[in-house]
Chains A and B, each alone.
Chain A
Amino acid sequence: GEDVEQSLFLSVREGDSSVINCTYTDSSSTYLYWYKQEPGAGLQLLTYIFSNMDMKQDQRLTVLLNKKDKHLSLRIADTQTGDSAIYFCAENPPGTYKYIFGTGTRLKVLA
């Protein structure tokens, strides 16, 4: 099927690490993305990973890719209250401009 799956909710304490998981559908997707949606706002591209990479680090963000299991994760170190948002993973299957978005994970950071 075409469902990109994510857990719906995650709650962490401020200063802890957050790990948001995603299972995607097409093992030949070239790029995989993480987007952030704050309340009342559009989507902001956080980071992406190319399919030939296992890991990508960008400041507090670490993306891990397991192509064999079609599993993508986003780790946020030292999570802050400003990180509270909905996080969407997305894949771009080859041969199409279309992105398939996950269901979104609502991250709540407790002070």
Chain B
Amino acid sequence: SAVISQKPSRDICQRGTSLTIQCQVDSQVTMMFWYRQQPGQSLTLIATANQGSEATYESGFVIDKFPISRPNLTFSTLTVSNMSPEDSSIYLCSVEERPGGFYGYTFGSGTRLTVV
């Protein structure tokens, strides 16, 4: 399966600042996904990033707050802008894999963000 590297693995940030999270995949993938996992909760899809087009955001998430780049088929970034303590979460990058026709997601190890 694909190997996903996420950076940084964790960060503590001041409110009002922005953080950019990087996601690098070791193979070319069409779709990359960004999830948020708030403390003690399940995963929520933020947006889908396709190369060469604007990201598609889920309800409750907007581009101004979570701008996403997808410059090529192996890389994406998610920026958390103008952070507040409510943005403290784990942010996970994911790709869909279809080995032999099976559809499954592989996840990066996540970025644990704490906003103070």
Q: Do chains A and B stick together as partners?
A: yes
Q: Are A88 and B110 in contact (CB under 8 A)?
A: no
Range of interface residues on A (Cβ < 8 Å): 20 to 34
Q: Are B92 and A42 in contact (CB under 8 A)?
A: yes
Q: Are B109 and A97 in contact (CB under 8 A)?
A: no
- Give per-residue flags for B2-38: 1 if the beta carbon is below 8 A from chain A beta carbons, else 0: 0010100000000000000000000000010000000
A92 close to chain B: CB less than 8 A: yes
Residues of A within 8 A of B103 (CB): 30-31, 92
Complex partner residue of B105 from A4, A40, A99, A104, CB under 8 angstroms? A99
- Give per-residue flags for A36-51: 1 if the beta carbon is below 8 A from chain B beta carbons, else 0: 0000111111001000
Complex partner residue of B45 from A30, A41, A88, A98, CB under 8 angstroms? A98
Closest to A103 in B: B42
Q: Interface of chain B, helix or strand or loop or mixed?
A: strand
Whether A43 contacts B102 in the complex (CB less than 8 A), given A97-B31, A98-B45, A101-B43, comes out as: no
Interface size on B, residues (CB 8 A): 23
A30 to B108, CA, bound (A): 24
- Give per-residue flags for A1-36: 1 if the beta carbon is below 8 A from chain B beta carbons, else 0: 000100000000000000000000000001101010
Q: Which of chain A's residues 84-108 have a Cβ closer than 8 Å to chain B?
A: 88, 92, 97-99, 101-104
Q: Are B42 and A104 in contact (CB under 8 A)?
A: yes
A12 CB to closest chain B CB (Å) equals 21
Closest to B108 in A: A42
B87 close to chain A: CB less than 8 A: no
- Give per-residue flags for B96-114: 1 if the beta carbon is below 8 A from chain A beta carbons, else 0: 1000001111111110100
Residues on A facing B (Cβ under 8 Å): 4, 30-31, 33, 35, 40-45, 48, 88, 92, 97-99, 101-104
- Ranked nearest first, the 8 interchain pairs of A and B with the lowest CB-CB distance are A42-B107, A43-B107, A42-B109, A101-B43, A101-B42, A42-B110, A103-B42, A42-B108
